[in-house]
Amino acid sequence: MIEVENVTVRFGGVTSLDDVSISFPGGTCGLIGPNGAGKTTFFNVLSGYVTPMSGSVMADGTQLIGMPAFKRARWGVRRTFQTEQAIESLTVFENVLTVHEHTTTAPRAEAKAAVDDVLEFVGLSHVRNDLVRTLPAKERRFIEMARAVVGEPKLVLLDEPAAGLPDEETEELSAIIRSIPDRNNATVVLVDHDMALVQACCSWSAVLDFGRLLASGETGDVLRDERVLMAYLGTDA
């Protein structure tokens, strides 16, 4: 259970998050909203890249605000970014191992097993020893997923993981995302503009608009909500 309470973030005159409170029930949860709504800022607050002016983030009973980003990663907060983070000159295996080494103190043999296990999970075992720079877009994207779930994550934040992927590959990604909660006993928060993907993965979703929580609840209901439709159509913006 991830309970975010009264989080406010300001950058100069811009209020990116305005007194946002969201309780994520667990499993895979959606976080949607138009561009500039504050979704990435919200992830930055959860992962420790941005310190809010005020607010609390309780994750399974642990207060994350005030904990440095590297400690949150050790605790089990993982994320993907809208830009790829994998290092081009390393192999797929090495890229995922790097994350594992930063997030645990597990012995080498255990780390190797965990990396091989996650590569199998995301379907990248066949390119395990390939350099990232030699790989096509789909494989690169799935490396980002492997980096986000290797080891023992407790909270996995996925920032537009399907952006630009063709339908077939989005389907594959969808199956992976849906199996993370069971595999890792982790809560997943999925930010994406692909509503079919959000509906397929998330039984519960929250909507941000202009830094405020607009609606939350069962995904189908949220997507039918009048205020949510207005926000997406931009009628009133």
Ligand X SMILES: Nc1ncnc2c1ncn2[C@@H]1O[C@H](COP(=O)(O)OP(=O)(O)O)[C@@H](O)[C@H]1O
When binding is defined by CB under 6 A, the residue of 4, 28, 29, 39 that contacts ligand X is 39
When binding is defined by CB under 6 A, the residue of 20, 30, 32, 38 that contacts ligand X is 38
Sign of CA dihedral 161, 167, 168, 174: positive
How near is the Cβ of 237 to Mg ion at its closest, in Å? Answer: 17
CA 66 to CA 130: how far, in whole Å? Answer: 39
CA 60 to CA 33: how far, in whole Å? Answer: 25
- Asked if residue 11 binds ligand X (CB under 6 A), the reply is yes
CA 31 to CA 216: how far, in whole Å? Answer: 9
Question: Closest Cα to residue 177, out of 163, 193, 157?
Answer: 157
The interface with Mg ion within residues 18-57 (CB under 5 A) comprises 39-40
Q: What is the signed CA dihedral for 75, 206, 204, 227, rounded to 10 degrees?
A: 180
CA 155 to CA 26: how far, in whole Å? Answer: 9
How near is the Cβ of 199 to ligand X at its closest, in Å? Answer: 19
How near is the Cβ of 195 to ligand X at its closest, in Å? Answer: 15
Spell out, one character per residue from 41 to 70, where the chain touches ligand X: x when CB under 6 A holds, - when not.
Answer: x-----------------------------
When binding is defined by CB under 6 A, the residue of 22, 29, 30, 40 that contacts ligand X is 40
How near is the Cβ of 39 to Mg ion at its closest, in Å? Answer: 5
Residues binding Mg ion (CB under 5 A): 39-40
